[in-house]
Amino acid sequence: MAAARRDAGALVSVWIGVDLGTQSVRAMAVTDGGEVLGAASRPLTSHRDGPRHEQDPEEWWRQLAAATREALRDVPPERIRGVAVAATSGTILLTSADGTALTPGLMYDDRRAAAEVARIDSVGAAVWERLGYQRMQANWALPKLLWLLPDAPPGARLAHQNDFVNRRLVGRGVATDLSNALKTGVDLIEERWPYEVFDELGVSAETLPDVVRPGTTLGTVCAEAAAITGIPLGTPVIAGTTDGCAAQLGAGAMTPGSWNSVMGTTLVLKGVTRELIHDPLGVVYSHRAPDGSWLPGGASSTGAGVLTREFAGQDLDALSAQAAARYGPTAGFGPAARFGPAATGGAGEPVVTAAEPVVTYPLVSRGERFPFVAPEAEGFTLGRPADDIERYVAILRGAAFVERLCFDYLDLLGAPADGEIVLTGGATRSAYWNQLRADVLGRPVTLRENAEPALGMAVLAAGDKGDAAGMIRTRAVVDPAGPRMDETYLRFVTELEGRGWLPASAADHARERTAP
CB 324 within 8 A of CB 352: no
C-alpha 5/C-alpha 498 separation (Å) is: 59
DSSP letter for each residue of 49-104 = ETTEEEE-HHHHHHHHHHHHHHHTTTS-GGGEEEEEEEE-TT-EEEE-TTS-BSS-
Determine the pLDDT at residue 470.
Answer: 84
Under DSSP, the state recorded for 208 is: S
Rounded to the nearest 10 degrees, the angle between the axes of helix 117-131 and helix 141-148 is: 140
| Alpha helices (H) along 114-194 | 117-131, 141-148, 161-170, 178-181
What's the distance, CA 376 to chain centroid?
A: 24
**How many other CB atoms are found less than 10 A from the CB of residue 130?**
17
Q: How many residues does the chain have?
A: 516
- CA dist list (Å): 296 to 3, 86, 333: 33, 18, 32
Strand 217-220 versus strand 236-238 pairing type? antiparallel
pTM, 2 dp: 0.85
- Of 29, 365, 57, nearest to 230 by C-alpha is 29
Strand 259-263 versus strand 267-271 pairing type? antiparallel
Determine the pLDDT at residue 457.
Answer: 97
Amino acid at 503: P
Find all residues with CB under 8 Å of 175, minimum gap 6, and list them. 209, 210, 211, 212, 216, 218, 239
Determine the pLDDT at residue 467.
Answer: 73
- 3-state secondary structure (DSSP) of residue 46: coil
- 3-state secondary structure (DSSP) of residue 492: helix
Which element (helix H / strand E) includes 380? strand 380-382
- What CATH topology corresponds to 297-450+485-514? Nucleotidyltransferase; domain 5 (3.30.420)
Interior/surface letters 295-312, b for 16+ CB within 10 angstroms, e for the rest: bbbbbbbbbbbbbeeeee
C-alpha 166/C-alpha 85 separation (Å) is: 8
Angle at 361 between CA 360 and CA 364, to 5 degrees: 115
CB 108 within 8 A of CB 46: no
C-alpha 285/C-alpha 123 separation (Å) is: 19
- What CATH topology corresponds to 2-245? Nucleotidyltransferase; domain 5 (3.30.420)
Under DSSP, the state recorded for 226 is: H
Residues of the chain with pLDDT under 70: 1-10, 329-355
Give Dmax over CA atoms of the chain in angstroms: 79
Determine the pLDDT at residue 355.
Answer: 52
- Of 191, 195, 20, 34, nearest to 92 by C-alpha is 20
